[in-house]
Amino acid sequence: MARKETQVIIKMNHLAGFMACTMSGASSKLALFLCGCYVVALGVHAGEPCVAEDQEAEYYVAAVYEHQSVLSPDPLALTSRKQALELMNQNLDAYEQQVMTAAQKGVQIIVFPEDGIHGFNFTRTSIYPFLDFMPSPQLVRWNPCLEPHRFNDTEVLQRLSCMAIKGEMFLVANLGTKQPCHSGDPGCPNDGRYQFNTNVVFSNNGTLVDRYRKHNLYFEAAFDTPPKVDHITFDTPFAGKFGIFTCFDILFFDPAIRLLRDSEVKHIIYPTAWMNQLPLLAAIEIQKAFAVAFGISVLAANIHHPSLGMTGSGIHTPLKSFWYHDMENPRGHLIIAQVAKNPQSLIGTENATGEMDPSHSKFLKILSGEPYCEKDAQEVHCDEATTWNMNASPTFHSEMMYDNFTLVPVWGKEGHLQVCSNGLCCSLLYKRPTLSKELYALGVFDGLHTVHGTYYVQVCALVKCGGLGFDTCGQEITEATGIFEFHLWGNFSTSYIFPLFLTSGMTLEIPDQLGWEHDHYFLRKSGLSSGLVTAALYGRLYERD
């Protein structure tokens, strides 16, 4: 759980211009949207200049809503369906307000968070009055708003369907659902029903398009794991094919990775109720990393309960992000942004810098084992490949993310470090324009993570420590002043590597370059916008879970 911070983050990050407004075509829907979008998503004053091109055909307009839900005062208590609906309708009223706001901005799809309608911390019995009956969209074509009496206990689905019609947009929301089962079904629970954590997708005419039932439950005693994994995609007229999964699913192969084997899936819908955990698994951090790793867009809606460490939503593509992170304000927040229909990948690309800079040349020479030569005014100096001026730093251990990392301190204004654990060796080549009074460390972990879930990770991480002592490395911090130019790399034995990158004030950074070189995966960055908090390569070995 993240500690409280006195901050609000509503930002856009970009390498090239993400949005633009054509003032010469100001009467167009796109131009009107873009000006409005800056106001809603970024808090930029409406009077500030908008510069842009009309690229309506290449983009769609999306919204995600970070919702501060009205929670049951006692989720363990038994209640009636009527009482459950009274509570859920308060949250649905808030949803409807956001849909109407989004409709005015030309939004084509809106996403609401996990647990946003009913809340959490229920038992299997106490959540029952909050569950809607869920027919299979594969078997039944149904518009709940227009056919409200077709099935009993579908009041929530009816309201969501009507919102989609009213807002003339695709709508994705999360709710609890129930499905009767028979004793002949070997997986049927003793009470004769399945209970699922469910995302539903409605088209802009209110039709139930599809549903996804969460597979990787996170200590959710009220819900069942579906008998088979749902691999759900749906088509839209404005941006092609979307995939969908929920919260903890993002860390596992099924359904998240398998969905993306479909090359037509360019966009992921991601309702979540994520408790931030720094330095490696803050909500916006993993959302952005997933977008970058797969070259897709991620529409992520988180719940908003700062006292529980729950905040962080965003609309992310590899090169751009609009995000919201606020540990102080109790209110929810609507993000609206224009999203490329075909996101541009960052992997294997580099900025157009002309000639290769010396640091990248040195990095490539280190990996290839060649001598590295520098020319000064008089002569050429060469380092032999065997030495490379590897810094002699003490190795130490510290707990990070409940795992026992092996680390070395990052001292001095420049250097080349390496630290190894099991089969994974992590390296750092760095320069610092000025030294700050902070301790940074390069850490490695190659093993099975076993707290709050069991999964195998390989991690190379450059982190700012909580204090000046080695035992503070791995603590949760959000502010930093240390500026680095660096290459971070490791000999990973997986191709599933997520680049985690945060700077001071919960600011997302974008690497200059990512990719494979001589069987090592690397991240390269210069020109940080603020002090470095975390730069990490987070590898997942799904087959070792």
Q: Are 468 and 412 in contact (CB under 8 A)?
A: no
Residue at 177: amino acid letter:
T
**Residue holding tokens 């952005």?**
288
Tokens of 35: 């000006």
Contact, 440 vs 462, CB < 8 A?
yes
**DSSP line for 94-130:** HHHHHHHHHHHTT-SEEE--TTTTT-S---TTTTGGG
Q: Where are the beta strands (DSSP E) in 465-531?
A: 485-490, 497-503, 507-508, 513-517, 520-525
Catalytic residue among 247, 426, 460, 473: 247
For residue 140, count other CB atoms closer than 10 A to its CB: 10
Q: Distance between CA atoms of 226 and 221, rounded to whole angstroms?
A: 14
Choice among 11, 178, 214, 288 that is catalytic: 214
Tokens of 224: 């069942």
The crossing angle, in degrees rounded to 10, of helices 81-104 and 155-167 is: 10
DSSP string for 360-375: HHHHHHHHHT--EEEE
CA angle, 195 then 158 then 146, to 5°: 135
**384 is a catalytic site residue:** no
Closest CA to 366 of 352, 347, 386: 386
For residue 145, count other CB atoms closer than 10 A to its CB: 21
Residue 168's Cβ-count burial label (10 Å; 0-12, 13-18, 19+) is middle
Prior bond to 255 cis, omega within 30?
yes
Q: Look up residue 214 and give its amino acid.
A: K
Distance in angstroms (rounded) separating the CA atoms of residues 270 and 64: 10
**Helix segments in 175-270, DSSP class H:** 258-259
- Give φ, ψ of 513 to 5 degrees: -160, 145
Cα 495–501–503 angle (5° rounding)?
170
- Single out the catalytic residue among 66, 114, 438, 509: 114
> Is 214 assigned a catalytic role?
yes
Q: Spell out where 126-169 has E strands.
A: 132-133
Separation of alpha carbons 382 and 86, rounded Å: 75
- CA angle, 46 as apex, 291 and 37 as ends, to 5°? 25
How far does Cα 252 stand from its chain's mean position?
A: 14
Catalytic positions are 114, 214, 247
